[in-house]
Amino acid sequence: MLRRCSMSHFFIATVVISTLISILGQQRPWTTMLPQELLGLDLRFDKNATTMASTDFGRLTQVLPAAVLYPSSVQDITTLVKSSFSSYLPFSIAARGHGHSIHGQAMAHNGVVIQMGSLNHTHEIRINVSSSSSDFYADVGGEQLWIDVLRATLRHGLAPPSFTDYLYLSVGGTLSNAGVSGQTFLHGPQISNVYELDVVTGKGKMVTCSKHHRSELFYAVLGGLGQFGVITRARIALHPAPQMVKRTRLLYTDFSAFTRDQEYLISLNIGEGFDYVEGSLIRDETEIDTWRSSFSKKDKEKIRSLLAKHHLIYLLEGTKYYDTVSAPTADQEVDLLLNGLTFIPGFAFKNDLLYVGFLNRVYDGELELRHKGLWDVPHPWLIIFVPKSRISDFNEGVFKKILKRNSTMGPVLVYPMNRNKWDERMSAVTPDEDVFYHVGFLRSAMHDWEYLEDQNKEILSFCVDNGIKTKQYFPHYTTNTEWKNHFGPKWNKFIERKKSFDPKGLLSPGQKIFTSMPWQWK
């Protein structure tokens, strides 16, 4: 730690940082001493710290930063960014939430990575639940994990309405993307459920923003891929939490019946249908057995015989929330819903789960995969949003043909969302249709990750060649033209916002959006 380092350590640190810090992406030696204002920060240059920050969940990229900041207060972050912004030799800075990116998005080549989780180790309480006359909300630190937000809010009988499937992700990290799951069709992505933010901009200024105050920054940051500021606090909407969920899994062999039912279910309003709708593919025996499916032995046998005949099964998953008051009618409501659906007769599977157990279901999967040595492996994931009008072509070309060539590689998720639950003013992008599908290829690879990356490219090429206008979620591009296409009509706004809030291009360099000098941004 710099705070305690001797003169020799200080000298090494200065030399190291001088060789590493870059001016807007260009390597230049930093000849001056480490600025005075950084001396009080817990800024670490050792191999342990920099190696940790050089990798992520994807395990496909390795990029070493010059240093890692372990902030003990939000002020430390402001100090760091301000120091870079006002320096003649600015350095890049990346906030790292939980490092669950795939392609190095939270890395900073020769810059400084901020280990956001360090804020959690201060004495300050970083999750505070409150209410106004009309709303319940929680003020949570950007570094907080959603599992901790859930646990803290449940103590008040409340919970956020919109989650991700996996809860060990940081608030700042998912709000920089969108935060989607089976509740998105009803409540919008997590970015649609934020009232207010505290953000340290690329100029090192702490700004509180909302829809009504400094709204340009507010909308920029939500889905903004970390480009406009570091989120240090988010005010998240809360709803009364249910206690239990009725989970229903329905099987289909006819893709159009599967999507018709999904689209019908997401057209229903709150209270009329399911509270959560997702879907996935079952393509081989191993997918019947995974932690994600958790069918009983008898049900597995039944599904196996179906799979032997059809080779590709579509699984629709819907859940209905309930509590002690609604318990007596919850079953009837689900049965009524099922009456209108066209799944294969006899292939509806129901079970009851605790609400928290349901929301935290992927964690069980993590433990299982860790146990098998399959968690800390390369993850060549691809997640795209596919417009509803072309999902059937996507099924024919990708699920039935391209994917046919390899079997086990992780879940493939397929579920629709309503665009009217997304706010166009935010930076996040979606396809240009009222309904679009989230299609996630959540691949784990032992040795063949290059092959799977190639297959991802093949899927994207198939879409381009067939005029299927997808948008990548959690996007990964390397050229200006690709980013321009990704943002489409939002691109000019994105650049304007970058010029306003991070004019020196310091923040989140790992996204590789602004790789040229600011005057070349176009």
| Catalytic center residues | 100, 165, 278
Cα(403)–Cα(504) distance, integer angstroms: 43
The tokens describing 111, both together, are 């810059």
162 lies in the binding site for ligand FAD (CB under 6 A): no
Candidates 80-88, 239-247, 308-316, 503-511: pick the segment binding ligand FAD (CB under 6 A). Answer: 503-511
* Neighbouring residues of 315: CB distance < 8 A, sequence distance ≥ 6: 249, 250, 251, 252, 279, 280, 281, 282, 293
96 lies in the binding site for ligand FAD (CB under 6 A): yes
Query: Is the CB of 41 or the CB of 303 nearer to ligand FAD?
Result: 41
Give the x-and-dash track for 213-252 against ligand FAD (CB under 6 A).
Answer: ------------xx---xx---------------------
Quote the least distance from Cβ 62 to ligand FAD, whole Å.
15
Number of amino acids touching ligand FAD (CB under 6 A): 36
Binding ligand FAD (rule: CB under 6 A), the pick from 94, 149, 244, 266 is 94
Q: Read out DSSP for 95-162?
A: EESS---SSSTT--TTSEEEEGGGGGGSSS--EEEEE-SS-EEEEEETT-BHHHHHHHHHTTTEE-S-
Please count the residues of the chain. 522
Strands 276-282 and 313-322: antiparallel
Give the x-and-dash track for 447-486 against ligand FAD (CB under 6 A).
Answer: ---------------------------x------------
Cα(212)–Cα(225) distance, integer angstroms: 22
Under a CB-based contact definition with an 8 Å cutoff, are residues 94 and 113 in contact? yes
Under a CB-based contact definition with an 8 Å cutoff, are residues 190 and 234 in contact? no
Whose structure tokens read 């079953």?
A: 331
Q: Residue 473: helix, strand or coil by DSSP? A: coil
The tokens describing 51, both together, are 């190696």
Q: For 2, how many CA atoms within 13 A lie in the half-sphere containing its CB?
A: 25
Quote the least distance from Cβ 366 to ligand FAD, whole Å.
7
Binding ligand FAD (rule: CB under 6 A), the pick from 83, 174, 262, 444 is 174
Binding ligand FAD (rule: CB under 6 A), the pick from 80, 106, 206, 417 is 106
Cα(260)–Cα(258) distance, integer angstroms: 6
Query: Is the CB of 226 or the CB of 505 nearer to ligand FAD?
Result: 226
Cα(261)–Cα(184) distance, integer angstroms: 17
* Neighbouring residues of 352: CB distance < 8 A, sequence distance ≥ 6: 244, 245, 246, 247
Binding ligand FAD (rule: CB under 6 A), the pick from 44, 82, 98, 512 is 98
Give the x-and-dash track for 9-48 against ligand FAD (CB under 6 A).
Answer: ----------------------------------------
Quote the least distance from Cβ 280 to ligand FAD, whole Å.
12
Query: Is the CB of 81 or the CB of 180 nearer to ligand FAD?
Result: 180
Report the Cα–Cα distance between both ends of the chain, in Å, rounded: 40
Binding ligand FAD (rule: CB under 6 A), the pick from 181, 259, 319, 360 is 181
67 lies in the binding site for ligand FAD (CB under 6 A): no
Candidates 125-133, 158-166, 256-264, 275-283: pick the segment binding ligand FAD (CB under 6 A). Answer: 158-166
- Chain contacts with ligand FAD (rule: CB under 6 A): 56-57, 94-101, 105-106, 116, 142, 164-166, 169-170, 172-174, 176-181, 225-226, 230-231, 474, 508, 510-511
